[in-house]
Amino acid sequence: MAHEIKGNKGAKMIRTPILIINLKTYASGTGKNAETLVEICEKTASGRTIIVAAQAADIHRAAKKAKKTSVFAQHIDAAEQGRNTGFVTAESVIEAGANGTIINHAEHKIPLMLVQKAVERARQNKLITVVCAATAKEAAEIAKACSPDYIAIEPPELISGKIGVSTAKPEIITDTIKAVHKVRKTPVICGAGVSSREDVKAAIRLGAKGVIVANFVMSAKDKKKAISELVEGLG
């Protein structure tokens, strides 16, 4: 049975398995290009769950194009609304149209204490949380500390590589699932180097509830073809 989580009021249900496309700060996913990518996702979803993680400045324009696609923030801070300059609040990304957020990505690591606070701020505002971990041990610590909606295991050394985690290090997926599920039944997704339908299929077979990708899609000349291939792997 698919795992389902509902985000903020009026937002879509998130049903697994999921494909998260992290636009990072690629030029091919910035501004108008973020809108274009969401439009491509709308045409290629085929009933599967696709989530686009956009830069904070692009969430609003991406969300305007999203009907079947969900839009996540790439990060939120633990800061509350008020006298805080330069922070990304949960309330601001919701107002922009986000349904969830990534926290603690390998390229934006924060201390566990701030992960806890960011997850709590997200929970208070009904934002779905995907918290990233580099190891099975870190994933279990995160699950115990703050119980996010999803944990994403991403070995940093494989990020943006040409070999997917499900091929290069399948044991890290199974070890993470075991470690996390000893603490809580938090669903685990995986990422780092995912670049084919076979990578996605292998991840699902290993027990992952989805994948998170960036480079394969963002560097592809034919983004529709790249996204379609990954969607096919979801089954």
Out of 105, 107, 171, 181, the active site residue is 105
Q: List helix spans (H) across the chain.
A: 32-44, 59-65, 90-96, 112-124, 136-146, 165-168, 170-183, 197-205, 215-218, 223-233
pLDDT value of position 92: 97
pLDDT value of position 162: 72
Residue 7 has pLDDT above 80, yes or no: no
pTM: 0.94
Least confident of 78-92, 164-178, 183-197: 164-178
Describe the crossing of helices 223-233 and 197-205 by its angle, rounded to 10 degrees.
20
Please report the DSSP string for 155-176 in residue order. Answer: -GGGTT-SS-HHHH-HHHHHHH
Please indicate whether residue 105 is annotated as part of the active site: yes
Please indicate whether residue 154 is annotated as part of the active site: yes
- CATH homologous superfamily of 4-233 equals Aldolase class I (3.20.20.70)
Structure-model confidence comparison of residues 41 and 159, the more confident one: 41
Residue 11 has pLDDT above 60, yes or no: no
